[in-house]
């Protein structure tokens, strides 16, 4: 028991204190004490005497109270005593172990296989049984290789050494000294021939590796292997930062394209610039410094490296914030508001996420995406279930022991509900290894397959079940195990197969492999969706699903889980935001100050002037109009700058309104910026309702969205700004809702839609006027009509209009609470949010009688429907929020049912949280 002699002799509780508490607590206390023994918290003698004392007292006073307890209490006590019995048993078991049992994983550098072993097993023996052991040993003797490498485990060298010592018996070698720490040292240590090598110094070496997920995304092995064939530097020189981005870490080239292909990156590695850079020692040192830094970070921090580039030896450049950051300040930079805002905005981008690993990056801030919330919920339910089962087991045991038949319990709906466990069919799609492409549902089959090298250097896959060799080709191997060999086919579990893209079910693996994944329908998928589509397996209901995460969300509700069982937790960010009334008010004031600063700094004006100047090369008389949050007063420092470019007679929608015109204008604009080094990352989003050109204005570090349609967005921005002036509380209110939404991360609801919902809530309650009412009050003769939609011509003073509204009498926290309460109960199935009228409109009115029953104020919509190119309001959506001016536009048309539920649930929880009681 020597190892129990911890130097920590402080103790938290005393027996006399325990006795003043309830009996139940005494049992807990004893249980804690037993655990404490296990955890080495107390000094042995002390624990021993305490337990003896406890037993004495337990036998006297506690026993009496236990005997006097009623039926219910008895049940609880018996359960607790059983728990105690279990704890004591495990404590005793623990005491018999001299060592704590730990798992260690090692990776074989030849086949990359992970070998897992426990500290109570003979690690040496386990590793010796690995089929590459001999090869490694031979390499060690002849070339001085490094041996097995510890895989992402926590064991430190000394721990490893002690276990090694056990395996070696009496070896007196000082292992910690002999273990090389850098590759340089390794070479020095292990160079030499067989004769002068001390075989006992064959060690396990623990070089740092990137987190597996980070590595698979940013430095995928297949791709890196391809690059290294041409690149002299045997390190990661090129980083894949996103689906359409890569960055060269040595010659600082940024590569953007629709898709970053292997071909493109290998081409870069073969280029003269890259070759020249790789000759510079400073560059190589910078690269080493870069990787050393990131390798030493926690996995979640590592995910942020996609934003950082080497700059000089102690510094990096953040490509998001364009700041030069000292290595020591990188972590705090990642946590800074500006950086965080950029990351959140990147996540919120509907069309295209520019960087990889965003969900993990958000996790670092305690922000959970909808999907993660759902996963957490599932895990929690799984844990609860296991706990419950364990408890039941103990209870059952207790009843059996006392010969009392167990009480029958009716099955609850929870127990009847199946938990859905969804995994990717292929975890490493980027791998070139045939074995990695065998779907998870056929994992049983993998054990019959081995790779065999032929004398000519080629490889085949041997099947021990059918005793044949197969060509090392994915199609052939997969066909063999899933279709061709009856022996294998029988081993496969029976699955159903569903392709969400084509909305069809297939029977069996045969039908599935016949399904044409290159059909027109698959090819016609939105570009933004394609990279996210893959094959999943629900191991619970044995279904293969081809689709994206939304498809999975649609799969889940079918399990019949009740509403109550769905996510019931606010994200940590929201809890923090709503921590107390003071904190909330302070955050509101802070956001307002930031928005005002954004409004007043000259950046927007300067950037617009520069854009105009550059665009004039292609469009002689163009005029640039800024709009969006930076103008309306709901912006933050990291907000993008939205601009409308009028190339001539376009503001009112007279010219260039066809999608083809828009694309032509964007192409011309791209030419205007092409040679200008102030603009980076140009990227056209042509499929959007309003096509845009995205670019980054380097001198001011501003992301810009350029549109070329008409001036209606400029007008709706004016309207938002006007509302904030009319009802001042609207500004902190919308800003706080915007911040709230950044934690909730609702798919397909953008900032503008949230702002419109806030305005609508104020209209409904008389704190703002409807668009129609405002228009009538201003009663201007000069109507502003844009593309057939009436805007507002503001003719009266603000004071005049203020007479028609009530000023909100309470503080912003109460307004938020009311807003959340309102939308948590909003009947999205029946009503459309309509800021034009400042009240709800029944959905059915849009459908029946061709919309003729709609309120007369919506006449422009009906007129537009009769035009050449009508656009029907998207009513089939699960959430309808009508644009205040463009009445055919449902701002939330792409929202899915799950998102509405999540939104309403979050509203409900937020309203509750805001009670501040
Ligand atoms: P953004 O999505 O850039 O939002 O739309 P924002 O209000 O500027 O907020 P940030 O960027 O997240 O801080 C910019 C503008 O585009 C128009 C609105 O005028 C909005 O303010 N817009 C956006 C529409 O007219 N319709 C839409 O569906 C979306
Ligand atoms: Mg914007």
Tell me the pLDDT band of 188, cut-offs 50, 70 and 90: very low
User: Which helix H or strand E contains 33, and what residues bound it?
Assistant: helix 23-38
User: 304 alpha carbon to ligand 2 midpoint, in Å?
Assistant: 24
d(CA 218, CA 404): 61
Give the pLDDT mean for 666-671: 94
User: 637 alpha carbon to ligand 1 midpoint, in Å?
Assistant: 15
For the chain, give me the number of helices (H) and strands (E)?
41, 26
Kindly tell me if the per-residue pLDDT of 781 is higher than 70.
Answer: yes
Which residues of the chain does CATH 3.30.460.10 include? Answer: 593-714
Are the C-beta atoms of residues 762 and 768 closer than 8 Å to each other? yes
3-state secondary structure 242-260: ECCEEEECCCCCEEECCCC
Using CA atoms, how far residue 748 sits from 503, 550, 745, 879, 899, in Å, is: 22, 12, 9, 10, 9
Question: For 681, left (φ over 0), alpha (ψ -120 to 50), or beta?
Answer: left
DSSP line for 195-242: TT--GGG---B------HHHHHHHS-HHHHHHHHTT-SS-S--EEEEE
User: 602 alpha carbon to ligand 2 midpoint, in Å?
Assistant: 17
Residue that wins the pLDDT comparison between 376 and 797: 797
Minimum-distance ligand 1 atom for the alpha carbon of 886: 25
Q: Name the CATH topology of 593-714.
A: Beta Polymerase; domain 2 (3.30.460)
pLDDT tens digit sequence for 96-115 = 654 455 677 787 777 777 77
User: 629 alpha carbon to ligand 2 midpoint, in Å?
Assistant: 5
Residue that wins the pLDDT comparison between 896 and 382: 896
- 345 alpha carbon, closest ligand: 1
Minimum-distance ligand 1 atom for the alpha carbon of 705: 3
> And the tokens for 359?
């969900």
Kindly tell me if the per-residue pLDDT of 405 is higher than 90.
Answer: no
Q: Give the dihedral of Cα atoms 498, 499, 503, 509; nearest 10 deg.
A: -50
User: 522 alpha carbon to ligand 2 midpoint, in Å?
Assistant: 32
User: 369 alpha carbon to ligand 2 midpoint, in Å?
Assistant: 21
Cα 44–Cα 48–Cα 54 angle in degrees, nearest 5: 145
Kindly tell me if the per-residue pLDDT of 409 is higher than 50.
Answer: no
What is the CATH code for 725-912? 1.10.1410.10
Does ligand 1 lie within 6 Å of residue 639's CB atom? yes
> And the tokens for 112?
């990359």
User: To which residue do tokens 């191991």 refer?
Assistant: 539
Kindly tell me if the per-residue pLDDT of 557 is higher than 90.
Answer: no
Report the pLDDT value the prediction gives residue 640, as an integer from 0 to 100.
93
User: Which helix H or strand E contains 749, and what residues bound it?
Assistant: none
pLDDT tens digit sequence for 5-42 = 333 333 333 333 444 445 556 556 666 655 655 555 45
Kindly tell me if the per-residue pLDDT of 416 is higher than 70.
Answer: no
Give the pLDDT mean for 721-733: 98
Q: For strands 702-707 and 641-646, give the pairing.
A: parallel
- 751 alpha carbon, closest ligand: 1
With 0.75 as the threshold, say if the pTM is over it: no
Are the C-beta atoms of residues 275 and 268 closer than 8 Å to each other? no
> And the tokens for 475?
């199609």
User: Which helix H or strand E contains 435, and what residues bound it?
Assistant: none
Minimum-distance ligand 1 atom for the alpha carbon of 632: 21
d(CA 748, CA 746): 6
Residue 345's closest CA among 23, 17, 726, 638? Answer: 638
| Cβ atoms within 10 Å of 593's Cβ, excluding its own | 10
> And the tokens for 155?
């064991």
Residues with CB under 5 A from ligand 2 (ion): 628-629, 640, 642
User: 52 alpha carbon to ligand 2 midpoint, in Å?
Assistant: 70
φ, ψ of residue 820 in degrees (nearest 5)? -65, -40
pLDDT tens digit sequence for 466-521 = 888 888 888 888 888 877 777 777 777 788 888 888 777 877 887 888 888 877 67
Q: Which of 347, 752, 835, 891 to mutate to test the pocket of ligand 1 (most atoms within 8 A of CB)?
A: 752
pLDDT tens digit sequence for 760-779 = 999 999 999 999 999 999 98
Q: Which of 746, 751, 881 to mutate to test the pocket of ligand 1 (most atoms within 8 A of CB)?
A: 751
Residue 370's closest CA among 908, 897, 801, 877? Answer: 897
Chain mean pLDDT for the chain: 79
Identify which of 66-75, 246-255, 349-358 has the greatest average pLDDT: 246-255
Tell me the pLDDT band of 392, cut-offs 50, 70 and 90: low
Alpha-helical regions (H) of 562-619: 572-577, 581-600, 603-615
d(CA 182, CA 319): 30
Kindly tell me if the per-residue pLDDT of 594 is higher than 60.
Answer: yes
d(CA 802, CA 308): 50
Give the pLDDT mean for 816-837: 97
Q: Which of 341, 598, 630, 642 to mutate to test the pocket of ligand 1 (most atoms within 8 A of CB)?
A: 642
Report the pLDDT value the prediction gives residue 726, as an integer from 0 to 100.
97
Tell me the pLDDT band of 387, cut-offs 50, 70 and 90: low
Lowest mean per-residue pLDDT among 498-502, 800-804, 884-888: 498-502
Are the C-beta atoms of residues 910 and 569 closer than 8 Å to each other? no
Report the pLDDT value the prediction gives residue 96, as an integer from 0 to 100.
64
φ, ψ of residue 503 in degrees (nearest 5)? 55, 45
Lowest mean per-residue pLDDT among 359-363, 566-570, 867-871: 566-570
Report the pLDDT value the prediction gives residue 778, as an integer from 0 to 100.
93
By percentage, how much of the chain surpasses pLDDT 70?
78
Tell me the pLDDT band of 134, cut-offs 50, 70 and 90: low
Does ligand 1 lie within 6 Å of residue 635's CB atom? yes
DSSP line for 704-733: EEEE-S-THHHHHHHHHHHHHHHSTTHHHH
Q: Reduce the DSSP state of residue 455 to 3 states and report it.
A: coil
Using CA atoms, how far residue 788 sits from 623, 655, 834, 856, in Å, is: 22, 13, 18, 16
User: To which residue do tokens 């409904």 refer?
Assistant: 764
Report the pLDDT value the prediction gives residue 166, as an integer from 0 to 100.
31
By alpha-carbon position, which residue is closest to atom 12 of ligand 1? 751
- 351 alpha carbon, closest ligand: 1
Give the pLDDT mean for 664-691: 90
Identify which of 164-168, 370-374, 500-504, 736-740 has the greatest average pLDDT: 736-740
Are the C-beta atoms of residues 785 and 654 closer than 8 Å to each other? no
Give the pLDDT mean for 389-402: 52
Q: For strands 692-697 and 623-627, give the pairing.
A: unpaired
Does ligand 1 lie within 6 Å of residue 713's CB atom? yes
Give the pLDDT mean for 394-415: 39
User: 743 alpha carbon to ligand 2 midpoint, in Å?
Assistant: 18
Which residues of the chain does CATH 1.10.1410.10 include? Answer: 725-912
Does ligand 1 lie within 6 Å of residue 838's CB atom? no
Report the pLDDT value the prediction gives residue 806, as an integer from 0 to 100.
97
DSSP line for 6-23: -S----S--HHHHHHS-H
Residue that wins the pLDDT comparison between 451 and 45: 451
- 758 alpha carbon, closest ligand: 1
> And the tokens for 763?
């209209």
pLDDT tens digit sequence for 706-719 = 999 999 999 999 99
Compute CA 434 distance to the chain's CA centroid, rounded to the nearest angstrom. 29
Residue 556's closest CA among 707, 321, 411, 374? Answer: 374
Lowest mean per-residue pLDDT among 392-396, 750-754, 855-859: 392-396
Give the pLDDT mean for 357-383: 78
Report the pLDDT value the prediction gives residue 175, as an integer from 0 to 100.
27
Question: For 916, left (φ over 0), alpha (ψ -120 to 50), or beta?
Answer: left
- 739 alpha carbon, closest ligand: 1
Kindly tell me if the per-residue pLDDT of 801 is higher than 90.
Answer: yes
Does ligand 1 lie within 6 Å of residue 186's CB atom? no
Q: Which residues of 273-302 are buried (b: 16+ CB within 10 A; e: fewer)?
A: ebeebbeeeebbebbebbbebbeebebbbb
Report the pLDDT value the prediction gives residue 141, as an integer from 0 to 100.
60
User: 642 alpha carbon to ligand 1 midpoint, in Å?
Assistant: 8
Lowest mean per-residue pLDDT among 41-55, 800-814, 829-843: 41-55
Give the pLDDT mean for 281-304: 90
Tell me the pLDDT band of 121, cut-offs 50, 70 and 90: low
- Count the helix, strand and coil residues of the chain and give each as a percent rounded to the nearest 5: 50, 15, 40
d(CA 421, CA 662): 45
Q: Give the dihedral of Cα atoms 224, 225, 231, 232; nearest 10 deg.
A: 120
Does ligand 1 lie within 6 Å of residue 751's CB atom? yes
Residue that wins the pLDDT comparison between 754 and 163: 754
Name the β-bridge partners of 696: 680, 703
Tell me the pLDDT band of 886, cut-offs 50, 70 and 90: very high
User: 734 alpha carbon to ligand 1 midpoint, in Å?
Assistant: 13
- 713 alpha carbon, closest ligand: 1
Give the pLDDT mean for 82-98: 71
Report the pLDDT value the prediction gives residue 97, as an integer from 0 to 100.
57
Report the pLDDT value the prediction gives residue 185, as an integer from 0 to 100.
32
User: 860 alpha carbon to ligand 2 midpoint, in Å?
Assistant: 27
Kindly tell me if the per-residue pLDDT of 840 is higher than 90.
Answer: yes
Q: Edge-to-edge, what's the strand order for the sheet holding 623-627?
A: 623-627, 641-646, 702-707, 692-697, 679-685
Does ligand 1 lie within 6 Å of residue 627's CB atom? yes
Kindly tell me if the per-residue pLDDT of 316 is higher than 90.
Answer: yes
Kindly tell me if the per-residue pLDDT of 154 is higher than 90.
Answer: no
- 738 alpha carbon, closest ligand: 1
Q: For strands 692-697 and 324-326, give the pairing.
A: unpaired
Does ligand 1 lie within 6 Å of residue 342's CB atom? no
Kindly tell me if the per-residue pLDDT of 730 is higher than 80.
Answer: yes
Kindly tell me if the per-residue pLDDT of 48 is higher than 70.
Answer: yes
> And the tokens for 379?
């895990």
Compute CA 278 distance to the chain's CA centroid, rounded to the nearest angstrom. 35
User: 346 alpha carbon to ligand 1 midpoint, in Å?
Assistant: 15
């Amino acid at each position: 028991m020597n190892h129990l002699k911890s130097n920590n002799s402080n103790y938290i509780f005393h027996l006399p204190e325990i006795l003043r508490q309830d009996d139940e607590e005494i049992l807990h206390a004893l249980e804690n004490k037993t655990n404490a023994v296990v955890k080495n918290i107390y000094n042995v003698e002390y624990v021993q005497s305490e337990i003896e004392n406890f037993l004495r007292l337990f036998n006297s006073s506690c026993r009496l109270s236990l005997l006097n307890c009623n039926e219910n209490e008895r049940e609880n006590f018996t359960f607790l005593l059983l728990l105690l019995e279990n704890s004591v048993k495990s404590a005793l078991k623990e005491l018999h172990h001299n060592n704590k049992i730990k798992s260690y994983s090692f990776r074989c550098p030849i086949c990359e296989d992970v070998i897992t072993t426990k500290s109570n097993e003979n690690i040496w023996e386990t590793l010796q049984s690995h089929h590459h052991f001999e090869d490694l040993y031979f390499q060690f003797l002849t070339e001085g290789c490094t041996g097995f490498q510890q895989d992402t485990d926590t064991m430190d060298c000394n721990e490893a050494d002690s276990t090694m010592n056990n395996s070696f018996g009496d070896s007196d070698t000082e292992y910690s000294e002999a273990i090389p720490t850098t590759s340089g040292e390794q070479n020095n240590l292990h160079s030499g021939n067989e004769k002068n090598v001390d075989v006992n110094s064959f060690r396990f070496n623990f070089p740092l590796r990137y987190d597996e997920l980070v590595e698979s995304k940013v430095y995928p092995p297949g791709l890196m292997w391809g690059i290294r064939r041409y690149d002299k530097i045997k390190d990661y020189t090129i980083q894949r930062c996103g689906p359409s981005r890569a960055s060269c870490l040595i010659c600082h080239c940024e590569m953007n394209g629709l898709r970053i292909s292997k071909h493109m990156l290998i081409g870069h590695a073969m280029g003269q610039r890259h070759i020249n850079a790789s000759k510079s020692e400073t560059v190589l040192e910078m690269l080493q410094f870069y990787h050393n830094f990131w390798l030493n970070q926690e996995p979640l921090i590592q995910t942020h490296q996609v934003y950082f580039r080497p700059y000089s030896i102690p510094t990096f450049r953040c490509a998001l914030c364009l700041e030069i950051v000292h290595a020591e300040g990188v972590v705090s930079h990642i946590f800074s508001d500006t950086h965080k805002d950029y990351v959140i905005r990147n996540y919120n981008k509907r069309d295209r996420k520019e960087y990889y690993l965003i969900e993990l990056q958000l996790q670092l801030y305690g922000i959970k995406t909808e999907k993660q919330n759902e996963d957490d919920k599932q895990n929690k339910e799984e844990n609860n279930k296991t706990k419950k089962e364990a408890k039941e087991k103990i209870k059952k045991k207790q009843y059996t022991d006392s010969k009392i038949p167990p009480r029958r319990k009716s099955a609850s709906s929870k127990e009847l509900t199946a938990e859905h466990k969804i995994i990717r069919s292929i975890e490493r799609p980027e791998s070139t290894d045939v074995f990695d492409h065998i779907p998870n549902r056929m994992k049983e089959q993998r054990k019959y397959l081995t790779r065999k090298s032929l004398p000519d250097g080629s490889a085949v896959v041997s099947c021990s079940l059918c005793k044949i060799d197969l060509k090392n080709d994915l199609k052939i191997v997969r066909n063999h195990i899933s279709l061709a060999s009856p022996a294998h086919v029988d081993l496969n579990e029976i699955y159903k197969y569903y392709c969400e893209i084509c909305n069809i079910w297939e029977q069996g693996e045969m039908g599935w492999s016949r399904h044409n994944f290159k059909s027109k329908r698959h090819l016609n998928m939105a570009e933004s969706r394609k990279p996210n589509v893959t094959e999943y397996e629900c191991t619970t209901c044995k279904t293969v699903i081809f689709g994206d995460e939304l498809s999975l969300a649609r799969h889940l509700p079918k399990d019949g889980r009740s509403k109550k069982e769905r996510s019931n937790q606010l994200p940590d960010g929201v809890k923090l935001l709503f921590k107390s009334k003071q904190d909330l008010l302070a955050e509101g004031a802070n956001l307002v100050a930031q928005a005002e600063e954004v409004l007043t700094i000259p950046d927007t004006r300067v950037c617009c002037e520069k854009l105009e100047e550059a665009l004039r090369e292609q469009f002689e008389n163009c005029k640039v109009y800024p709009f969006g949050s930076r103008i309306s007063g709901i912006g933050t420092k990291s907000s993008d700058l939205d601009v409308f470019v009028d190339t001539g007679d376009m503001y009112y929608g007279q010219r260039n309104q066809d999608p083809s015109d828009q694309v032509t204008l964007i192409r011309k604009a791209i030419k205007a910026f092409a040679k200008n080094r102030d603009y980076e990352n140009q990227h056209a989003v042509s499929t959007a309702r309003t096509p845009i050109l995205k670019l980054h204005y380097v001198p001011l570090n501003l992301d810009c969205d350029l549109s070329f349609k008409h001036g209606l967005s400029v007008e709706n921005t004016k309207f938002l700004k006007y509302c904030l002036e009319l009802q001042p509380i609207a500004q902190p209110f919308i800003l706080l809702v915007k911040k709230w939404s950044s934690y909730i991360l609702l798919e397909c609801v953008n900032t503008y839609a949230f702002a419109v919902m806030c305005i609508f809530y104020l209209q409904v309650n008389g704190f703002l006027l409807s668009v129609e009412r405002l228009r009538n009050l201003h009663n201007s003769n000069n109507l502003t009509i844009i593309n057939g939609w009436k805007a507002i011509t503001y003719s009266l003073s603000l004071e005049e209009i203020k007479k028609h509204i009530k000023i909100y009498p309470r503080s912003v926290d109460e307004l938020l609470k009311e807003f959340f309460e309102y939308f948590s109960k909003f009947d999205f199935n029946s009503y459309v949010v309509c800021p034009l009228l400042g009240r709800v409109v029944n959905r059915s009115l849009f459908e029946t009688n061709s919309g003729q029953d709609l309120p007369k104020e919506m006449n422009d919509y009906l007129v537009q429907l009769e035009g050449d190119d009508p656009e029907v309001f998207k009513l089939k959506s699960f959430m309808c929020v009508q644009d205040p001016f463009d009445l055919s536009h449902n701002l939330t048309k792409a929202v899915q049912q799950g998102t509405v539920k999540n939104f309403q649930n979050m509203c409900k929880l937020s309203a509750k949280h805001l009670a501040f009681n």
